[in-house]
Amino acid sequence: MSSDLAISVRGIGKTFRVGAAQAQATTLGEMLAQKLRAPFAKRERDFPFEALSDVSFEVRRGEVLGIVGRNGAGKSTLLKILSQITPPTRGEIDLRGRVGALLEVGTGFHPELTGRENIYLNGSILGMTRREIAREFDSIVAFAETEQFLDTPVKRYSSGMFVRLAFAVAAHLRPDILIVDEVLAVGDLAFQRKCLGKMDDVARHGGATVIFVSHQMSAVRALCGRALLLEGGKVSEDGRVETVLGRYIALSNAAQSAVTELPPGEAGAPARATTVRTFGMDHQPNCTFRLGEPWRARVEFEVLAPLSHFIAAFGLRTLEAVPLITWWSAPRDLSPGRYAVEFPCDVPFSAGSMEFTVGLSSGERTLYYAEGVGGITISEIAVGAQPFRASGAGLLTSMQRPEIIPALP
Amino acid sequence: MIPELQPESSLCGVPVLSTAGEAFRPGGGEGEIIVRIRPPRPWEALDLRSLWRFRDLLLALAVRDIKLRYRQTALGVLWVVLQPLLAAGIFAFVFGRIAHLDSGGVPYVLFCYAGLLAWNLFSGVVLKASGSLVANASLVAKIFFPRVVLPFSTVISTLLDFAIGLVVGLALLLAYGRVPGLALLAAPFWLAFLLLLATGVGLICAALAVAYRDVMHILVAVIPEGLPRTLYKLNPIAPLIEGFRGALLGQGSVGPRSAVYAIVFTIGVFMAGLIFFRRMERQFADVI
């Protein structure tokens, strides 16, 4: 390994035994019973599941590498192996320098202990010595903005304060290699920005190597120069962040369809939504629309009992689960039967992918609710005037096109 | 770019420890840490040096245990002293006053107290060490550190209780006008083996409990009562406790045969604990 490499991963694989989940005994009694029933059957019901196979990559010192991939692609397993929580089944990794891993904010915090006590406890769990913690103590507290509450048990902290303190401890580890899993999902926007800033600082000025996993593509784009796309436990793309993210988005979109079958609601509910269909301007079923193109969503549902003041709702949120907009139907009293509502979606969204939220209610009661289902994509190719670059233009775009006029000299 | 495979013992000229998860600092000081992660080998004894490297964590966890035990109790740390006193008082009352058992001329309270002190140390370490991995499941699943730190940290926190109990015991001895003699010098010896045995059992049970939570139920049922009395002759704990009691009270002794038996047994269990823990360690995060 040449000395400017911080991480060298060679042919890493991890195999879990699944099916074992049902067959594997979790109490001694079950195990004994199994052994008695079939003493020589050596776990035949197990089948190996390859969470990771033949993953190889290298990271240079000071590089910030983003790892993206759909749920179950093996991101978490890879991070757990890199941070030595679980060993690989095959392959080798060399890490040069001290490793700090933050896979979850607040693990190791104890609710009964005060903020001060938790800083020391968590610091040592993450691998700092007492002296190092004492040295960083003031800047940890300053970063977390919790000076007044240092001697309050953290169980009385607001969730925001808790998350800030937890991140602050990890951020002051001063590792040579920092491994960060989806930790920004918690905390408010200002805090997220602060964390990103801190990670950037650690990499840029501290010379640390950072591996960063997030579903927030904006964060990956802002922080990382290079990204890795994991697909089914394999590295399917490794290169410049824009290229890899483009491939990842295309992958997410491939899972969308113009017809979304909705999950069944609560058993016994008097109404349930069944399907969402999306159509373009041409009335053809579609799930990819052009920037500025109006489209329609048709929500189909079933009513099993007479319901008064019935409302169907349809919403959109980003892939990062940020709610964007909700449309409601006009209220109506309904008798049992099948119904549908068509929502005209003429809001000028910017380019990107969105997921659906579907809800049904009667009076004050929610009868059905499903979120993060299906989805549509607004492509960067606009209807009419084509802006130079539409991605990252904001969640909404204005369709007004004011004239450019000569300025007065 | 395909990295060149280096011989295992050297990496760019610096020696590397190649066991999974072991860090090495060439030159012992300011040099760089290189970690090589690879699939674990099945049979390796646990490396106790990691305990020293993570001594701050060991202490921090022990301090946490102690703090948590007495937080939100009205009497606080007083309980450390009250608990053994109460237990000894009850024992002495029941067996001394009511049952008139013979304790060989020693006041029955002292006789009970000394035995109880040693037994509580043993059972405390076994119970707490066994539960230590499961109780810290989120740490095990999300953060890397030598897992063995968890059971060992419970040894420290239990030792603190014991030390306070010991001071109370010595005060009791003086109160009864008995000055401990030279025999007291043997006490650390018996204690060390008692601790070693308890830790060995604790390591095995802790590793088992990760996959089979039943272990805790079995221990809770067996530990408080059954073990010391059943199979008294075969029980390796009995000579250790008697040895400690004898050292404290300056009375009674352990025969050489049972002493040797207990010591050999203890070392065997401790070694088995280290090996078994290491073998199971690799799957803790996946199973817990």
Give the pLDDT means over successive 10-residue stretches in chain A (409 positions).
80 77 55 59 62 92 89 86 90 88 82 90 87 91 88 87 85 85 70 81 85 81 89 90 83 74 84 91 84 88 92 88 88 92 88 88 90 83 60 67 75
Phi, psi (deg, nearest 5) at residue A354: -135, 155
Mapped onto helix, strand or coil, the DSSP state of residue B121 is: helix
Interface residues on B facing A, Cβ-Cβ cutoff 8 A: 1, 3, 6, 11-12, 20-21, 32-40, 54, 56-57, 59-61, 63-64, 67-68, 71-72, 138-145, 211-215, 282-283, 285-286
Q: Which of B37, B60, B142 is nearest residue A92 as measured by Cβ atoms? A: B37
Cα atoms found within 13 Å of the Cα of residue A194, Cβ hemisphere only: 17
Instruction: Mark yes or no for CB contact B144/A98 under 8 Å.
Output: no
Lowest-confidence range among A356-360, B16-20, B54-58, B133-137? B16-20
Q: A121 CA to chain B: closest CA distance, Å?
A: 6
* Cβ partners under 8 Å of residue A84, min gap 6: A99, B20, B21, B35, B37, B144
Give strand pairing partners of A371: A357
Among B59, B144, B212, B287, pick the best mutation site for testing chain A contact (most A Cβ within 10 A).
B144
Q: A246 CA to chain B: closest CA distance, Å?
A: 24
- Return the pLDDT at B96: 64
- Return the pLDDT at A229: 92
Prediction pTM value: 0.71
Q: Reduce the secondary structure of chain A to three states and give it as a string.
A: CCCCEEEEEEEEEEEEEECHHHHCCCCHHHHHHHHHHCCCCCCCCCEEEEEEEEEEEEEECCCEEEEECCCCCCHHHHHHHHCCCCCCCEEEEEEECCEEEECCCCCCCCCCCEHHHHHHHHHHHCCCCHHHHHHHHHHHHHHHCCHHHCCCEHHHCCHHHHHHHHHHHHHCCCCCEEEECCCCCCCCHHHHHHHHHHHHHHHHCCCCEEEEECCCHHHHHHHCCEEEEEECCEEEEEEEHHHHHHHHHHHHHHCCCCEEECCCCCCCCCEEEEEEEEECCCCCECCEEEECCCEEEEEEEEECCCEEEEEEEEEEEECCCCEEEEEECCCEEECCEEEEEEEEECCCECCEEEEEEEEEEECCEEEEEEEEEEEEEEEEEECCCCCCCCCCCCCECCCCCCCCCCCCC
Q: Which residue of B has its CA nearest to A181?
A: B142
Q: How does residue B4 score in pLDDT terms, banded at 50, 70 and 90?
A: very low
DSSP element (H, E) containing B36: strand B34-37
In the block, tokens 């805090």 appear at A191
Q: How does residue B172 score in pLDDT terms, banded at 50, 70 and 90?
A: confident
**A238 or B82: whose pLDDT is higher?**
A238
What does the pLDDT average to over B278-286? 84
Instruction: Mark yes or no for CB contact A87/B282 under 8 Å.
Output: yes
Instruction: Mark yes or no for CB contact B139/A96 under 8 Å.
Output: no
* Cβ partners under 8 Å of residue B250, min gap 6: B178, B180, B181, B183, B184
DSSP B6: P
- Return the pLDDT at A58: 93
For residue A242, give the amino acid letter.
E
CA B287 to chain centroid = 24
Instruction: Mark yes or no for CB contact A58/B3 under 8 Å.
Output: yes
Identify the burial level of A255 via C-beta atoms within 10 angstroms of its C-beta, where 0-12 means exposed, 13-18 middle and 19 or more buried. Answer: exposed
Instruction: Mark yes or no for CB contact A107/B37 under 8 Å.
Output: no
| Nearest one of A125, A119, A160, A158 to A140, comparing CA atoms | A119
* C-alpha to C-alpha distance for A271 and A262, rounded to whole angstroms: 13
Among B2, B4, B69, B286, pick the best mutation site for testing chain A contact (most A Cβ within 10 A).
B286
For residue B256, give the amino acid letter.
P
* C-alpha to C-alpha distance for B209 and B130, rounded to whole angstroms: 7
- Return the pLDDT at B208: 92
Average pLDDT of chain B is 77
C-beta separation of A73 from A230 below 8 A: yes
List CB contacts (< 8 A) between B205 and chain A.
Answer: none
What does the pLDDT average to over B200-229? 78
Q: Which residue of A has its CA nearest to B285?
A: A86
What does the pLDDT average to over B105-115? 79
Give strand pairing partners of B97: none
Mapped onto helix, strand or coil, the DSSP state of residue B34 is: strand
Instruction: Mark yes or no for CB contact A84/B144 under 8 Å.
Output: yes
Q: Which of A1, A88, A97 is nearest residue B3 as measured by Cβ atoms? A: A1
Lowest-confidence range among A186-195, B17-26, B270-279? B17-26
- Return the pLDDT at A216: 74
Q: Which of B33, B39, B214 is nearest residue A29 as measured by Cβ atoms? A: B214
What percent of chain B is modeled with pLDDT above 90? 18
Q: Reduce the secondary structure of A211-235 to three states and give it as a string.
A: EEECCCHHHHHHHCCEEEEEECCEE
Mode of pairing for the β-strands spanning A337-345 and A209-213: unpaired
pLDDT at B13 > cutoff 70: no
Lowest-confidence range among A183-187, B218-222, B282-286? A183-187
**Interface contacts (A, B; CB < 8 Å):** 131
- Return the pLDDT at B24: 39
What does the pLDDT average to over B241-269? 86
Q: Which of A28, A92, A124 is nearest residue B212 as measured by Cβ atoms? A: A28
Phi, psi (deg, nearest 5) at residue A259: -120, 120
Among A4, A12, A30, A84, pick the best mutation site for testing chain B contact (most B Cβ within 10 A).
A84
Instruction: Mark yes or no for CB contact B212/A94 under 8 Å.
Output: no
Instruction: Mark yes or no for CB contact A16/B286 under 8 Å.
Output: yes
Q: Which of A94, A112, A120 is nearest residue B34 as measured by Cβ atoms? A: A94
- CA distances to A71, A236, A292, B263, B283 from A174, rounded to whole Å, are 30, 31, 47, 46, 29
> What is the DSSP secondary-structure string of B44-79?
----THHHHHTHHHHHHHHHHHHHHHHTT-SSTTHH
Task: Inform me whether the C-beta atom of residue A8 falls under 8 Å from chain B C-beta atoms.
Answer: yes
Q: From the CB of residue A250, how many other CB atoms can be counted at a distance below 10 Å?
A: 10
For residue B268, give the amino acid letter.
G
B185-211 per-position pLDDT tens digit: 888 999 999 999 999 999 999 999 988
Q: B240 CA to chain A: closest CA distance, Å?
A: 31
Q: Which domains does chain A have, with CATH numbers?
A: 5-23+44-254 (3.40.50.300), 259-382 (2.70.50.60)
**B88 or A274: whose pLDDT is higher?**
A274
Write out residues 112-141 of A within 8 Å (CB-CB) of B: 112-113, 117, 120-121, 124-130
Task: Inform me whether the C-beta atom of residue A151 falls under 8 Å from chain B C-beta atoms.
Answer: no
Write out residues 86-115 of A within 8 Å (CB-CB) of B: 86-99, 101, 103-104, 107-108, 110, 112-113
Task: Inform me whether the C-beta atom of residue A147 falls under 8 Å from chain B C-beta atoms.
Answer: no
Angle between helices B237-249 and B256-281 (to 10 degrees): 120
Q: Which of B32, B142, B212 is nearest residue A104 as measured by Cβ atoms? A: B142
* C-alpha to C-alpha distance for B190 and B6, rounded to whole angstroms: 49
* C-alpha to C-alpha distance for A300 and A278, rounded to whole angstroms: 11
Q: Which residue of B has its CA nearest to A101?
A: B143
* C-alpha to C-alpha distance for A238 and B97, rounded to whole angstroms: 80
- Return the pLDDT at B45: 62
pLDDT at B129 > cutoff 90: yes
* C-alpha to C-alpha distance for B68 and B77, rounded to whole angstroms: 11
- Structure tokens of B83? 């608990």
pLDDT at B22 > cutoff 50: no
Q: How does residue B7 score in pLDDT terms, banded at 50, 70 and 90?
A: very low
